[in-house]
Structure 1
C-alpha cells in the first residue's frame, strides 16, 4: 500500500517543504521514490513515483524542462519535488504552469533537506503499510542502496533490515580496526567450523548461535572480500520465524555492508603504510633525533619513550601446498595481509600497547618491556623475561599455525636492548634468528637469537671474504662434487655430525651400508683435506657447514 502525496507532506523531510503547484492532485498515491540522475529518466518509470530532482540533468535544455511535467503525467507519476538553490535558483515557470494544468503536485524542497531526509521515512512508512511482495522488496533495495550511497553507514543499514525482517540484526567483524555492531547484545563469536562453513557456502545459511547466553536460531550471511571472511551479518529469530524473502533481503544487503567494510579496510591499509614507513626508520637504525621520533610516534598513538623487545614473523607456503601462477601469487599476498590483521587481533584485547608493522616479507612485533634500564642500545644481560617473551611468541605462532595451516610460520626473537637504538638491534637480531636458525627451528618454528650458538659469531663478521674462503676450502668443494656427480656428501656429513660421529647409526639413518659410509667419509677427506677423525679438521668442517647455512 502506497502513501498519498498529502500524507507524504506530513512525514520526514517533506514537512519542511511546500507544494507550490498542482494542489488538486494531492490525493495521488506514491508507491515508488526515484531520483532523476539522467535526462531520459522518464523511460524507466513505472507509475506512481515521487520524482526527486535538482534539474541538473536538464537545466540547460528548455524544451526538456517545459515537457517534464507532461511526460510524468503521461506515465502515471504522482508528484515532482525540485531542490532549488543548488543548480536552479527557483522552479521554472513552465513546470509550475504544467503542474496546475495537469493537477500534478509540484513540491519545492527546502535547501537544508536532503533526498535521504525525504526517502528514508517515506519508504519506512510504505514498508509498514505493505505486505511482503516484489514491489515492496524493490522499494526496500532502492532505499538501502540510497542509504549506502548517501554515506549513512552500517547502523542505518542494520536499522533498515530490522524493519524489513522484524528481527534483530547484528554485524560481526574479523577486521581488528572495525568493531562489530551488536546493539548491546552478547553475541558469541563464530567458531572456526562456522567460519569455514560460511566461506564454503558463500551465501545466507541457517545456524544455531548464542545470543545473550541462549542458543538462538538465526540466518547468517558471510561478508567476503577476495574470498576471505571479513565479517558476518546475522539475523536472529527473536520475534517471528524466518521467511524465504529474509534470505533474499540479507543476500542483497550484504554487498552494501561489504562496501562499508572495504572503506574501513582501505583507510586502515593506507594508515598502516604510513606507520610501516615511519617504523622502518626506527627498525633500520636511521633515527637521528630521539625526541623527534618519539613525538612523531605519538601521532600514531605509540609511546616510543618506552622500551620494546622485537620478534619477527615470517610466513611461507608449505611446499606440498604451493602452486604457481599470478593468481596464486596474489592469493599469497592477500593471505599475508590477513595474517597481519590476525596478529593485530591477537593483541587487540591485550593490556600491553603492542606495535605491529609489516617490513618487506616480515611482520615485526614490538613488545613493550616495563623492566630494564641502562644505556640506550646496550644488551640487557641475563634477561629474566626471556622465557616470558618466548611464551608470548609461541602463543602467537600456535594461533596463526592453527588458522593458516597452508602457511609455515617461523618466529625469530631478538634480545632486549633499551631505547630506540635498542629496537633497531633487537629487530636486526630477530631477522638473523629467522635467516640463520633454520636447522634449529625445524621442529618448534621459533628461535631466540641467543640460541643461535656459533651462528651469532659468524653473523657478526664483517669480512665476508674470509667466510667465503673458509667455505670454498671445505664444504664448497663437497657442494661442487655433489652437483657434478649427483652425490650427497654434504647431506652425509650433516647427518654424521648430527649423530655425534656414530658411523653405524648414521648409516642406518641414511639407509646405506657401513662400508658405504666409510667410503663417503674418505671421499670427504680426499676432497677437503679435512679428516673427520682429527678434532681441528673436524671443527673446520663444522664451521664450513654453518657458513653453508648462512650463504644459502
Structure 2
C-alpha cells in the first residue's frame, strides 16, 4: 500500500495548505520521500519525492524561481510545497498553468507552518504504510508457501498472484510450456502458441529493465508483441540456472511498466517467483528420486540374477514399467564422447555437466522414438554406456530393433551430428533370464564391435558367431600359446620394419592365394610380393602351400583382427 499526495493532504497539519494545481492528480502521485530543497535543484531531488521549499534562493527573482520549479517537475518529484509570505509572495500565473499542464501539484503553505512538523508527520505516515506493506508482504508470502505445502500446483500460484495484482499471469517451465495461467482464456492460449511458434519467448534480447535499480526489476525483460506488452521474470535455481519464467500480461498497453510495477506489485511478484522456484525444486527432487529408483531397477535387471520374478513384476509396475512384454537389450557405447566434446566449438560448461546434458538429450530421444513406435522402454546408464531394454516382438526382434534405431539415428543426427554411437544388440529370452542374458549378449556384441573395423555401427549378437567361436578358443592356454608363437613374430617385424605383412597375407588369402591377383590388388611387382610371402613363411615357420599351416595362420590373424592381441603372451 503506497502513500499518495491525497493521503498527505488529508493530514491535519496540512489543513491550512492550499492546493493550487493538479487537484485531480493527487491520488496518482506516489510519495516515497520528503525533503527540504532550495535552488539550485541539480541532482538533489529524487523521483517520487515531496519537496518543501521557502524559495530563499530565488528571492525577488521570479525567473530563477520558475527555473527552480521546472527543474523540480523534471526531476520526477511527487509535488512541490511552497511556503509563501517571506521570499515568495505569489506564485506566477504562468507557472501555475505550466504545472497544471504537467499534472504536477503545486501546494501553497502558510509561512508559519514549520517544515520539521510536516516532515515528522509525513515520515510517520510513510513508516506506517511501510509497516502495513511489510505485514501484507509477509501474509502473501505465507499464503503462497501454504499453497506449495498443501500440494497445490503452479496454476494455483498463478491464480493467487493474478488476483492480487489484477493482471493476467502465466507461469512456464524453462521451455516456455505453460504450467500455470490465470485467467484461463482462448485468447491467452492462442497468444502463447504464436509466441512459442515464432520463438518470441523466452525473451532474450537483453532489453532488461533499466527503469529501476530494484533487484527484481533488474532481472526483468520487457517486450511488446502485436500491441500486447510482456513482462518476463526468470525463475532461478542456485548457480543462476533458469527453471522457468513468470510472465505478466498487462491489461493496458498504455500503462507504463514502471507505473505498473509499484512496490506492492514488486513484492507480490518477488514472492511468486520464489514460490515458483520452490515448486520446481520440489518437482525436481521428486523426478530425480523417481529417476534414481528407475535407474537402479533397470541396472539390477541387467547386472543381477532374478530370484523372484513376481517381485520384479510388482516393483516394475510401481515404477511405471510394463513387465509382461518381451524385451531385448540394446547398449549404446559412448566411448568417444570426450573427443567429441573437445571438437565441439561452443562448450562453455565442464565436460561432466555437458555429458549429463547429452545423456539427458539422448534419453529424451530414446523415449520419443519408443513412444512413436508404441513400444515400452527402460533406460539406465553405466559409465559411458546407455543401457536400453526395448519392447520387441519375440519372433522378429531384429527388425523391431533396427526400425527403432533407424528412427533414433535420424533424430540424433540433427541434435548431435557425428557423435557416432556404437550399438550392441542382444536377443530375446524367456523370463526370468530375459534381462541379464540379453544384456550380456549386447555387452559382448559391443566388445566385439570395438575390436573390428565395422561397416555398420550396429552389432547384433546373432551376427557374432565367428567371433564368439574364437573367443571360446581363447579360453585355452594351449591355444593362446599356439596363436602367440604364430602371430607375434609377424607383428614385431611389421612394427620394427614399418612393413605391412599382415595386410599382404589378408589380401593374398582373400584372392584365393593367387599371386597374380594379389600383386595387382596391392599394386606390387610379382617378385616383391613373393619376397613378402617368403618372409611370412620364414617368420612363422609355416608353409603357405600347406592347407593346415594356412588354416593356422588364418586363425591366428582372425584372433588378432578382433583385438585379442592383448590376450596373447608376448
The normalised TM-score by structure 2 is: 0.54
Whole-Å separation in 1 of the counterparts to 2:147 and 2:321: 36
Q: Are 1:283 and 2:334 counterparts?
A: no
The correspondence of residues 102-141 of structure 1 with structure 2, limited to 5 A, is 114-116=139-141
Q: Deviations over 1:155-183 (max 9, x none)?
A: 467676999997885746679xx997797
Q: How far apart are residue 504 of structure 1 and its match?
A: 6.8
8 A contact 2:156–2:180 mirrored in 1: no
8 A contact 1:174–1:230 mirrored in 2: no
The normalised TM-score by structure 1 is: 0.56
Whole-Å separation in 1 of the counterparts to 2:165 and 2:492: 74
Q: Deviations over 1:303-339 (max 9, x none)?
A: 3343311111112336974539994355335423442
Q: Deviations over 1:33-61 (max 9, x none)?
A: xxxxxxxxxxxxx999xxxxxxxxxxxxx
SS in 2 for 1:316: coil
Q: Deviations over 1:383-430 (max 9, x none)?
A: 434322222223223322331125211111111111130221111111
Name the residue aligned to 2:433. Answer: 421
The correspondence of residues 204-283 of structure 1 with structure 2, limited to 5 A, is 264-265=283-284, 267-283=286-302
SS in 2 for 1:282: helix
The correspondence of residues 458-469 of structure 1 with structure 2, limited to 5 A, is 458-460=470-472, 463=475, 465-466=477-478, 468-469=480-481
Name the residue aligned to 1:304. Answer: 323
Whole-Å separation in 2 of the counterparts to 1:410 and 1:429: 14
Name the residue aligned to 2:126. Answer: 76
Count, aligned residues: 422
Name the residue aligned to 1:351. Answer: 374
Whole-Å separation in 2 of the counterparts to 1:222 and 1:493: 66
CA 522–413 in structure 1, closer or farther in 2 if over 3 Å, else same = same
Q: Deviations over 1:355-401 (max 9, x none)?
A: 122233321221224x55xxxxxxxxxx4343222222232233223
Whole-Å separation in 1 of the counterparts to 2:476 and 2:205: 55
Work out which of the two has the higher radius of gyration on C-alpha atoms and give 1 or 2: 2
Q: How far apart are residue 488 of structure 1 and its match?
A: 3.4
Whole-Å separation in 2 of the counterparts to 1:495 and 1:399: 39
Whole-Å separation in 1 of the counterparts to 2:549 and 2:196: 60
8 A contact 1:223–1:232 mirrored in 2: yes
SS in 1 for 2:420: strand
8 A contact 2:422–2:446 mirrored in 1: yes
8 A contact 1:435–1:550 mirrored in 2: no
8 A contact 2:298–2:378 mirrored in 1: no
Whole-Å separation in 2 of the counterparts to 1:513 and 1:236: 82
Q: Deviations over 1:235-259 (max 9, x none)?
A: 799988899979xx9xx99999788
Gaps of 5+ in 2: 8-26, 33-47, 51-119, 209-220, 262-269
SS in 1 for 2:433: helix
Name the residue aligned to 1:480. Answer: 492
Q: Are 1:361 and 2:388 counterparts?
A: no
CA 388–459 in structure 1, closer or farther in 2 if over 3 Å, else same = same
8 A contact 1:47–1:78 mirrored in 2: no
Q: How far apart are residue 449 of structure 1 and its match?
A: 0.9
Name the residue aligned to 2:314. Answer: 295
Whole-Å separation in 2 of the counterparts to 1:116 and 1:267: 23
SS in 2 for 1:365: strand
Partner of residue 354 from structure 2, selected from 298, 321, 331: 331
SS in 1 for 2:468: helix
Name the residue aligned to 2:103. Answer: none
Gaps of 5+ in 1: 8-26, 33-45, 49-69, 82-104, 121-144, 210-215, 373-382
SS in 1 for 2:335: strand
Partner of residue 403 from structure 1, selected from 411, 415, 440: 415
SS in 2 for 1:356: strand
Q: How far apart are residue 500 of structure 1 and its match?
A: 6.5
CA 277–461 in structure 1, closer or farther in 2 if over 3 Å, else same = farther
Name the residue aligned to 2:463. Answer: 451
CA 180–289 in structure 1, closer or farther in 2 if over 3 Å, else same = same
Aligned-pair Cα RMSD in Å? 6.1
8 A contact 1:170–1:181 mirrored in 2: yes
SS in 1 for 2:333: strand
Q: How far apart are residue 198 of structure 1 and its match?
A: 9.0
SS in 2 for 1:347: helix
